[in-house]
Structure 1
């Protein structure tokens, strides 16, 4: 009985940590091959696993099994830190909704809900509105474009006043 309860609890925790927040619609027509490569973090909401980091990048590459290799890297206290994980689509690969695992058994939601048609920038939500990233192919973003994306995130219910702008902006 205890093992069944533990398994059910673990499954429920995975579902909660990968769910799409209400009112957030992951991009459909997503082309994973176009998303691969380096992305620069323009802004993010604060969270413990990236706290104090600057010059943050995310590198994505396709694995042979259809999953995505994720390498996040940033500068903290004068030292480069990095972590590698694996992302798996939560359903249809043409929908930008994935679960990313950096630690076995603990996937987190990764939901691209706004994406430039040329794949020059993206906005990503986690499993709730406490997680938001604005990423771009270049380390800098036009201020007008940035303000437009922040406005969209605010309309979607994110606490944009808490955004941390990357030092490269």
Structure 2
């Protein structure tokens, strides 16, 4: 197992500005998101209790699939969150939450880079279905500098 220094996150996130729909530009493979998934989006909305509703959508074999979960900020910076997609009554079970750490964010909240501290998961997200190649390259360089292996990176097709 490779040991890495702690994953550096952005200093702080204005959680209200982060809300809304994000298009997945690229990702590292994960079992909950098949390689043939397209049109992947994540829509975040702030709940009355301060937690965040997470609504992930993808197209697979022509069908839309959706998963609804909940994210909780781990500290006041709001750059480190835990996400669970278990039914509400089971979210208390230990080891069922995923790490969602914001490690890069454009000042205008148009692009975000999110990863897990074990470097297994990574998402490049944007407010639009496509981003400039130079922006993409800059964020992927940030991921590499933080110890992410990008050789299995999946480019997410967006038909929008």
1:108·1:127 contact (CA, 8 Å) conserved in 2? no
Choose which of 44, 56, 62 in structure 2 pairs with 1:60.
44
Secondary structure of the structure 2 residue equivalent to 1:112: strand
Kindly report the root-mean-square deviation, in angstroms, between the aligned alpha carbons of the 2 structures.
Answer: 1.4
1:83·1:102 contact (CA, 8 Å) conserved in 2? yes
Look up the match of 2:21. 38
Runs of 4+ in structure 1 off by over 2 angstroms are none
Displacement of 1:62? 0.3
1:89·1:99 contact (CA, 8 Å) conserved in 2? yes
- Indicate whether 1:95 and 2:88 are aligned: no
- Indicate whether 1:125 and 2:115 are aligned: yes
1:27·1:95 contact (CA, 8 Å) conserved in 2? no
- Indicate whether 1:158 and 2:148 are aligned: yes
What's the TM-score once normalised by structure 1's chain length?
0.83
Higher helix fraction (1 or 2)? 1
- Indicate whether 1:27 and 2:10 are aligned: yes
Structure showing greater Rg: 1
| Equivalent-residue separation in structure 1 for 2:107 and 2:42 (angstroms) | 19
**Contiguous gaps of at least 5 residues in structure 1:** 1-20
1:123·1:133 contact (CA, 8 Å) conserved in 2? yes
What's the TM-score once normalised by structure 2's chain length?
0.88
The one-character-per-residue Cα deviations of 1:57-110 (angstroms, maximum 9, x if unpaired) are 000000000000000000011110000000001122x23101001013311100
2:26·2:125 contact (CA, 8 Å) conserved in 1? yes
Secondary structure of the structure 2 residue equivalent to 1:33: helix
Displacement of 1:128? 1.4
Displacement of 1:147? 1.1
| Equivalent-residue separation in structure 2 for 1:90 and 1:146 (angstroms) | 28
How many residues are aligned here? Answer: 148
Displacement of 1:34? 0.3
